Amino acid sequence: MSKVAEVFETLEYGPAPESAQFANEWLEKHGRAFGHFIGGSWTDASTGVSFETANPATAQPIAKVSQGTVEHVAAAVAAARAAQPGWWELGPHVRARYLYAIARKIQKHGRLLAVLESMDNGKPIRESRDLDIPLVARHFYHHAGWAQLMEDELPDYEPLGVVGQIIPWNFPLLMLSWKIAPALATGNTLVLKPAEFTPLTALLFAELCQEVGLPDGVVNIVTGDGETGAALVDHPDVDKIAFTGSTDVGRIIREATAGSGKRISLELGGKSPFLVFEDADLDSVVEGVVDAIWFNQGQVCCAGSRILVQEGVAEALERKLRARMETLRMGNPLDKSVDMGAIVAPVQLERIESLVEQGRSEGAEVWQPSWSAPREGWFYPPTLCTNVAPSGTLAQIEVFGPVVVMMTFRTPSEAVALANDSRYGLAASIWSENINLALDIAPKIKAGTVWVNCTNLFDAASGFGGYRESGYGREGGEEGLLEYVRPTWEHAAQLQREPTANDGIAQPPAGGTPAIDRTAKLYIGGKQSRPDGNYSLPVYAADGSPMGEVGRGNRKDVRNAVEAARKAQAGWAARSAHNRAQILYYFAENLEARRAELTGRLATLSGDSEGASAEFDATIDRIFTYAAWADKWEGRVHHTPFRNVTLAMKEPIGVMGAVCPQAHPLLGFVSCIAPLIAVGNAVVAIPSEVGPLLATDLYQVLDTSDVPGGVVNIVTGLRSEVVPTLESHDDVDGIWHFGSAEDARSTESASTGNMKRTWVSYGRARDWFDRQQGQGQEFLREATQVKNIWVPYGE
Ligand code: NAI
């Protein structure tokens, strides 16, 4: 047979290698050794400790980079600090021009960046060239726009200051752009640490920043491993840490920064479900699986690593998948006709191998195509695992490699239960020709991104980030931008201290505590219940006379309250926003009817009758505010540049703990619960220790206002006895704690168990009467999380 005829027969691709010449020239120009980029110049690469970065496809070293020390990090933070005021003062337009110039540079050097990325990471050039680099440019263009608009769109916000950014190795330059673009757009300066396996494109990026004349110190790049990262996290002059990587390190960072006042955003791991309903177009599904789990060798935080397929089509899908896996091409990442490249490092390869072995020992059937992966370099073939139990290692642990499990379901509700049977919640894909079904399932899945009949699509306009242990904070979209700013009023308020209980509790009169017969109970699941321990606490008026007693809640009461909240939450969230608004208006109306009693109570407590009246008025006003917002805190439709609509939906976080401020026991309490319930959360509220009776007075008001039982639960008691249980409870999804700096530390630290969202005040006083500080969008944002649902259109 002739050669041409052979090709027709086999339809084999010939090699189509992309040249590494320019990348090698660039590396040679630097003597294949790099220092750190600090304050606009390079540290000496020949001094200090360095390490090698290797090409995963050949296992050969490419270049040496410096290991960042505590001193390097300190120098970089100092440079960023010095540069920050000037960078902010340049104003929106000039910053926009810089970001635009960076975007242009990236486009101009796109091929060089793509080749270097593929050499350092092992990903196919097709991916780095067609996906990573265009998205990097898109992020800088998009954020050049935000820089321009910031003054008009976020007039009451200012930059955080100096940001520390730590990124992983799976999308080195893309993750850099997701971090750097919003930080610069909002007037921050930064120190970024790339992953130790893939530092090279960040260093080339630093050079591009020099070329566009970015002011010295605005962007600093320090290379190194986890220790360098930890030094950045621990540096006291860093205002925020933005991290992408493993959930384990995310936890370490949460713990290390607890109570420091550093803002953090964490984009962590995932075990994303890929749901296939029986009416799905299976050929499209197969290509979807290729993109979901074999893209970037499965080293993708949102990889669709769990195929959940409806029973009737499971066999057919498996057959088609195996056939497709046989045709995947694995090899030299610089070959343009290669589908899969190499695994980033031997340690990652070993991790994949050992997890697959673990799965096999648990009974998984492991299938790989008949061709063998290249032996030179670090390769792992595409792998399909069946016969895996939902609780099995391969169904629960993030492999971060080209390994997918396939499990079956019968009904849509079983599919949702299986999909949510994970501690993660980063992304999901839903495949069905029935759009009604897909859009019914999408909101039920706990994930930050849901792709309908598509997968692994990203865009700067659409926020990306997780639910649950996949972390918090978003990258991209307006919500991503808001991670890098704070309200301007916070600055001025910094020196005022949030009152603590000791500031307010009147002392009992000399001669002991007189007997009182009225004891308010706890409020759990819509019922007044006696505290588990059967103890109570006295409450005193401003003049020291007794006002009454409240239940002294304990751990068991908190747990009961969380359980009641969990039972009520989904039903509450499923109500229409109009209905929640109506209930809040009704709440205000019923409260108004008790004006005399409550203002009297407030006046007795504070000894200030004028103040009591003002607090009552502000409380009614506040409830009206959130009744108004309930049906207006809406999502968006993003214009992502594909043939699709991306629906950004604001969803409640779930079960929320609210440790209310000590001051203004009525207004402070309502300022916490009203925004939370307005958007569909259920709450376990710990009222002010000073004036808990103002909260317990609300039981009947809540009942008569048709707030369903369990939506608001109130546990009175000593904070030291109830708050630790609440903030470490694994079924609480988020917690607000308006208290001291020490409170902030313990709340943030206790949150690491299930990585619950936290909102704390670090002891900074908030003026609860002030409309900007005491209410508004900041509260609603902290009460919700955004889910982006991508829905393609067209045939
Ligand atoms: P990692 O979380 O250790 O590394 C991510 C980044 O954090 C790197 O820049 C690293 O130097 C830095 N780092 C490590 N320890 C640190 C510390 N104590 N303080 C501050 N920074 C620190 O991830 P690794 O070890 O590279 O991969 C392990 C596993 O993590 C993977 O198998 C995968 O399951 C998961 N992973 C998830 C990613 C995601 O995007 N969700 C990305 C990378 C890894």
Give 140-180 pLDDT, tens digit per residue. Answer: 999 999 999 999 999 999 999 999 999 999 999 999 999 99
CA of 364 to the centre of ligand 1 (A): 27
CA of 714 to the centre of ligand 1 (A): 40
pLDDT beyond 50 at 479 = yes
CA of 249 to the centre of ligand 1 (A): 6
| Residue among 167, 171, 135 nearest 458 (CA) | 135
Q: Which atom of ligand 1 is nearest to the CA of 267?
A: 41
| Residue 424, C-beta contacts closer than 8 angstroms, at least 6 positions apart | 247, 268, 269, 270, 271, 272, 398, 466, 468, 469, 470
CA of 168 to the centre of ligand 1 (A): 6
- In terms of C-beta density within 10 A (0-12 exposed, 13-18 middle, 19 or more buried), how is residue 199 classed? buried
CB within 6 Å of ligand 1 — which residues? 166-170, 193, 195-196, 225-226, 229-230, 233, 244-246, 249, 252-253, 268-269, 301, 348, 351, 398, 400
Closest CA to ligand 1's atom 25: 246
| Residue 454, C-beta contacts closer than 8 angstroms, at least 6 positions apart | 288, 429, 644, 790, 792
- SS3 readout for 59-128: CEEEEEEECCCHHHHHHHHHHHHHHHHHHHHCCHHHHHHHHHHHHHHHHHCHHHHHHHHHHHHCCCHHHH
- pLDDT at residue 509, rounded to an integer: 47
Q: Which atom of ligand 1 is nearest to the CA of 270?
A: 41
Report, as an integer, the average pLDDT of 695-699: 97
The two three-digit tokens of residue 552, written as one number = 């002294």
468 in Cβ contact with 730 (< 8 Å): no
Q: Which atom of ligand 1 is nearest to the CA of 351?
A: 32
Taken in order 247, 252, 253, 255, the sign of the CA dihedral is positive
DSSP three-state, residue 211? helix
- pLDDT at residue 502, rounded to an integer: 63
Report, as an integer, the average pLDDT of 312-338: 97
663 in Cβ contact with 688 (< 8 Å): yes
How far is the CA of 388 from the CAs of 308, 313, 321, in angstroms? 11, 18, 17
Taken in order 617, 584, 527, 560, the sign of the CA dihedral is negative
| Angle between helices 609-630 and 595-606 in degrees, nearest 10 | 130
CA of 441 to the centre of ligand 1 (A): 32
What's phi and psi for 655, nearest 5 deg?
-95, 120
CA of 727 to the centre of ligand 1 (A): 26
Closest CA to ligand 1's atom 15: 226
Helices vs. strands in the chain: H and E counts, helices first: 31, 33
Report, as an integer, the average pLDDT of 81-97: 98
| Residue 620, C-beta contacts closer than 8 angstroms, at least 6 positions apart | 588, 591, 592
Q: Indicate the pLDDT class of residue 434, thresholds 50, 70 and 90.
A: very high
CB atoms within 10 A of CB 134: 17
Instruction: State the Cα–Cα distance between residues 548 and 536, nearest whole angstrom.
Output: 10
Active-site annotation holder among 267, 549, 651, 727: 267
Closest CA to ligand 1's atom 8: 195
pLDDT beyond 70 at 515 = no
- pLDDT at residue 492, rounded to an integer: 72
133 in Cβ contact with 110 (< 8 Å): yes
What's phi and psi for 258, nearest 5 deg?
-55, 130
pLDDT beyond 60 at 512 = no
Report, as an integer, the average pLDDT of 556-565: 98
pTM over 0.85: yes
pLDDT beyond 90 at 328 = yes
Closest CA to ligand 1's atom 10: 226
The two three-digit tokens of residue 416, written as one number = 């949702």
Closest CA to ligand 1's atom 13: 226
Q: What is the DSSP string of 557-624?
A: HHHHHHHHHHHHHHHHHHS-HHHHHHHHHHHHHHHHTTHHHHHHHHHHHHS-HHHHHHHHHHHHHHHH
CB atoms within 10 A of CB 190: 28
Q: Indicate the pLDDT class of residue 7, thresholds 50, 70 and 90.
A: low
Q: Indicate the pLDDT class of residue 495, thresholds 50, 70 and 90.
A: low
301 belongs to the catalytic site: yes
Alpha carbons within 13 A on the beta-carbon side of 794: 6
- In terms of C-beta density within 10 A (0-12 exposed, 13-18 middle, 19 or more buried), how is residue 15 classed? exposed
Bin 453: left if φ > 0, else alpha if -120 < ψ < 50, else beta: left
pLDDT beyond 50 at 275 = yes
- Which of 494-498, 549-553, 733-737 bottoms out in mean pLDDT, i.e. has the lowest? 494-498
What is the average pLDDT score of the chain?
Answer: 95
Closest CA to ligand 1's atom 21: 229
- pLDDT at residue 641, rounded to an integer: 87
% of the chain surpassing 70 pLDDT:
96
- pLDDT at residue 592, rounded to an integer: 98
Residue type, 677: I
267 belongs to the catalytic site: yes
Instruction: State the Cα–Cα distance between residues 683 and 561, nearest whole angstrom.
Output: 9
Query: Do the bridges between strand 272-276 and strand 304-310 make them parallel or antiparallel, or are there none, so unpaired?
Result: parallel
| Residue 203, C-beta contacts closer than 8 angstroms, at least 6 positions apart | 34, 37, 65, 194, 221, 223
Give 359-395 pLDDT, tens digit per residue. Answer: 999 999 999 999 999 999 999 999 999 999 999 999 9
Q: Which of 234, 249, 254, 348 to mutate to test the pocket of ligand 1 (most atoms within 8 A of CB)?
A: 249
- pLDDT at residue 517, rounded to an integer: 53
Q: Which long-range contacts (CB under 8 A, 24 or more apart) does 757-761 make?
A: 757/472, 757/653, 757/733, 757/782, 757/785, 758/734, 759/734, 759/735, 760/736, 761/498, 761/737
Q: Which atom of ligand 1 is nearest to the CA of 175?
A: 40
Closest CA to ligand 1's atom 42: 245
The two three-digit tokens of residue 299, written as one number = 């080293």
Burial 725-750 (b: 16+ CB within 10 A, else e): bbbbbeebbbbbbbbbbebbbbbbbb
Q: Which of 222, 246, 299 to mutate to test the pocket of ligand 1 (most atoms within 8 A of CB)?
A: 246
Alpha carbons within 13 A on the beta-carbon side of 123: 30
% of the chain surpassing 90 pLDDT:
92
518 in Cβ contact with 547 (< 8 Å): no
pLDDT beyond 50 at 431 = yes
The two three-digit tokens of residue 79, written as one number = 């440079």
Report, as an integer, the average pLDDT of 87-107: 98
Report, as an integer, the average pLDDT of 262-286: 98
The two three-digit tokens of residue 378, written as one number = 């670090």
- Which of 6-15, 412-421, 493-502, 780-789 bottoms out in mean pLDDT, i.e. has the lowest? 493-502
CA of 246 to the centre of ligand 1 (A): 5
Taken in order 475, 477, 482, 484, the sign of the CA dihedral is positive
Report, as an integer, the average pLDDT of 726-739: 97
According to DSSP H, which parts of 447-575 are helical? Answer: 477-481, 489-493, 501-504, 555-574
Closest CA to ligand 1's atom 27: 246
CA of 192 to the centre of ligand 1 (A): 14
DSSP 58: T
Active-site annotation holder among 209, 301, 454, 672: 301
